[in-house]
Amino acid sequence: MNGRLVPESEAVVPFLTAGLHYGMGVFEGIRCYDTADGPAVFRLRDHVLRLVASAKTLGFRELPYDEATLSAAIHETISANALRACYIRPVIFLAEGGMNLNIDTGRPHVGIAVWPWKEFHGEGSLDAGIRVNVSSYTRHHPNIMMTRAKISGNYVNSFLAKTESVRLGFDDAVLLDPDGYVAECTGENLFVVTRGRIITPPVAGILEGITRDTVITLARDAGLTVVEERIVRDRLYDADEVFLSGTAAEVIGVREVDFRTIGSGSIGPITRTVQQAFRQTVRGEHHRSPEWLEPVLPLDDEAEAKILRA
């Protein structure tokens, strides 16, 4: 928290924190994977760049830490918790003022948490696939929220949709954009497979997922065709395969949309190919792994001393 390693019970914010009241914060979701060469963070540089870009989009003019310091702090937080695989959550939020809705009257605080997080959609979901519905909520219009930024307040839209879907008995929600085209899910980008082609919505109005980019690269490496094209809702219904990508969800198949079975009702062959390539990549077993995996650095003496003091 703001440069100090503290136990979870001390990682708290005062009640009068504007970030809490108004969603004035930006965050990242990053994963560290257990590889044969030890724990390694997947695409850390890209995530830290997106975090800083989100902070700029939100309106922060100056951050207390630069990209290198934020990355080093992420390494330190993982090592201090002695985790081989984990989810990583850095947050930059407005504190010390800003209750008048002017970001310039407060200051950014930074916290980083890590925790073990296996299958985001529940045990066995990566193999079985999930069931989704098209949400009654529309994705943000890009001039209502800054949709390319990972802004805390944007996630009200996601949790309204996710809670509704789960209460209806689904695992997740597909959100349509304000024009009625498929945008993305609550925390995942979406892909459709039709007659051997992988189709995904263009980047306008969605969060440009780092896993999405990984999937596109790995699929093209494997000789598959990937196109970015607007997707109408009924294209989901008669798709051969539908799958999602996201740091938390990883690459997961969809077996049902709005009570329509997708393909044979189990994970399709193209989804499997992409899922397997992704698994190999994050485990350090793919030719792309070295460019995307950053081995976690052990704690230096100063950090060890910080833990002892904490």
Ligand X SMILES: Cc1ncc(COP(=O)(O)O)c(C=O)c1O
- Residues with a catalytic annotation lie at 150
CA angle 110, 17, 5 (to 5 degrees): 30
CB 118 within 8 A of CB 249: no
Nearest Cα residue to 212 out of 274, 152, 158: 274
C-beta closer to ligand X: residue 5 or 175: 175
How close are the terminal C-alpha atoms of the chain, in Å?
Answer: 12
Dihedrals phi, psi of 293, to nearest 5 degrees: -100, 130
C-beta closer to ligand X: residue 108 or 246: 246
35 alpha carbon, distance to own chain's centre: 20
C-beta closer to ligand X: residue 12 or 159: 159
The Cα 110–Cα 7 span in angstroms is: 15
The DSSP call for residue 96 is S
Could you tell me the smallest distance in angstroms from the CB atom of residue 259 to ligand X? 24
The Cα 258–Cα 239 span in angstroms is: 13
Could you tell me the smallest distance in angstroms from the CB atom of residue 107 to ligand X? 25
Could you tell me the smallest distance in angstroms from the CB atom of residue 173 to ligand X? 11
- Number of Cβ within a 10 Å radius of residue 163: 12
C-beta closer to ligand X: residue 247 or 281: 247
Could you tell me the smallest distance in angstroms from the CB atom of residue 197 to ligand X? 21
C-beta closer to ligand X: residue 152 or 303: 152
Give the residues lining the site for ligand X (CB under 6 A).
29, 158, 184, 187-189, 207, 209-212, 245-247
Could you tell me the smallest distance in angstroms from the CB atom of residue 237 to ligand X? 22
For 162, residues 6+ apart whose C-beta sits below 8 A from its C-beta are: 172, 173, 186, 187
